[in-house]
Amino acid sequence: MSIEGVVLKLPSFSQLINPNRTPLKFPFNFPNSSSSSSYSSATASLSVPAAAPVSLGHSTRPDFEILYQKVNNGSKLVYLDNAATSQKPSAVIDAVNNYYKSYNSNVHRGIHFLSAKATDEYEMARRKVASFVNAPESSEIVFTRNATEAINLVAYSWGLSNLKAGDEIVVTIAEHHSSIVPWQILSEKTGAVLKFVSLTEDEVPDIKVLQDLLSKKTKLVAVHHVSNVLASVLPIKDIAQWAHDVGARILVDACQSVPHMVVDVQDLGVDFLVASSHKMCGPTGIGFLYGKSELLTAMPPFLGGGEMISDVFLDHSTYAEPPSRFEAGTPAIGEAIGLGTAIDYLSQIGMQKIHDYEVELANYLYENLHAIPGVRIYGPAPSETVHRAALCSFNVEGLHPTDIATFLDQQ
| Alpha helical stretches, state H, 39-180 | 56-60, 90-102, 113-132, 147-153, 160-162
Torsion of CA 248, 250, 251, 254, to 10 degrees: 170
pLDDT digits (tens, 9 = 90+) for 262-320: 999 999 999 999 999 999 999 999 999 999 999 999 999 999 999 899 999 999 999 99
Residue 43 has pLDDT above 80, yes or no: no
For residues 141 and 139, what is the distance between their CA atoms, to the nearest angstrom?
A: 5
Q: Residue 382's closest CA among 400, 401, 399, 366?
A: 366
For residues 286 and 154, what is the distance between their CA atoms, to the nearest angstrom?
A: 16
Lowest mean pLDDT among 8-17, 79-88, 186-195, 282-291: 8-17
**What backbone torsions phi and psi does residue 334 show, to the nearest 5 degrees?**
-60, -35
**What backbone torsions phi and psi does residue 282 show, to the nearest 5 degrees?**
-105, 180
Q: Residue 405's closest CA among 395, 397, 251?
A: 395
Residue 42: its pLDDT value, please? 37
CATH code linked to domain 91-348: 3.40.640.10
Query: Residues 61-72: what's their mean pLDDT?
Result: 94
Domain-by-domain residue ranges, the chain?
Answer: 69-86+349-410, 91-348
Residue 394 near residue 408 (C-beta atoms within 8 A) = no
- Can you name the CATH fold of 69-86+349-410? Aspartate Aminotransferase, domain 1 (3.90.1150)
Q: What is the DSSP letter of 36?
A: S
